[in-house]
């Protein structure tokens, strides 16, 4: 389950909402919603994210935090290395090969470093 999927499920459960009720509100099937929660589907689009925030009364920081979590939980990412230098291209490919092999603890350490570095460069 992705971090976004876990948060979505937690919000649903905190509001005593079934998956089928949420799916009906969003105009999607329960199967689709389950796939989103488990990272088997891409993240919802802007309109659906706004619907989810409205459904649970999320505004301002809470809504932005959920949207950011969705972006960070995208199960299908693409890194366009076309405009990168050779070393950056090699780093991206090595990272893609390495990530499935590392432990959860190693992945957490890497994610923390990457987030810190991303914040520094933003």
The reported pLDDT for the residue numbered 21 is 97
Mean pLDDT of the chain: 93
Own/partner contacts of 28-31, CB < 8 Å, gap of 24 or more, are none
C-alpha distance from residue 75 to each of 4, 49, 85 (Å): 10, 16, 26
Flag whether pLDDT at 87 surpasses 80.
yes
Rounded-to-integer distance, Cα 37 and Cα 117, Å: 28
Q: Which of the four pLDDT bands, split at 50, 70 and 90, describes residue 59? A: very high
The topology under which CATH files domain 3-72 is: 434 Repressor (Amino-terminal Domain) (1.10.260)
Check residue 42 and give its pLDDT: 86
- For residue range 9-43, what is the model confidence (pLDDT) as tens digits? 999 999 999 999 999 999 999 999 999 999 899 88
Token code pair at residue 93? 């490919």
pLDDT score of 76 more than 90? no
Average pLDDT on 41-63 reads 94
Q: Is the pLDDT of residue 75 over 90?
A: no
**Per-domain residue ranges of the chain:** 3-72, 86-121
């Amino acid at each position: 389950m992705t971090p976004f999927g876990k948060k979505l499920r937690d919000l649903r459960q905190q509001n005593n909402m079934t998956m089928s009720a949420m799916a009906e509100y969003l105009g999607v099937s329960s199967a689709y919603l389950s796939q989103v929660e488990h990272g088997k589907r891409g993240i919802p689009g802007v309109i659906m994210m706004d619907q989810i925030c409205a459904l649970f009364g999320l505004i301002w920081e809470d809504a932005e935090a959920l949207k950011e979590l969705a972006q960070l939980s995208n199960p299908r990412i693409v890194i366009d290395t076309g405009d990168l230098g050779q070393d950056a291209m090699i780093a991206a490919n090595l990272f893609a090969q390495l990530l499935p092999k590392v432990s959860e603890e190693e992945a957490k350490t890497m994610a923390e470093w990457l987030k810190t570095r991303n914040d520094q460069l933003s």
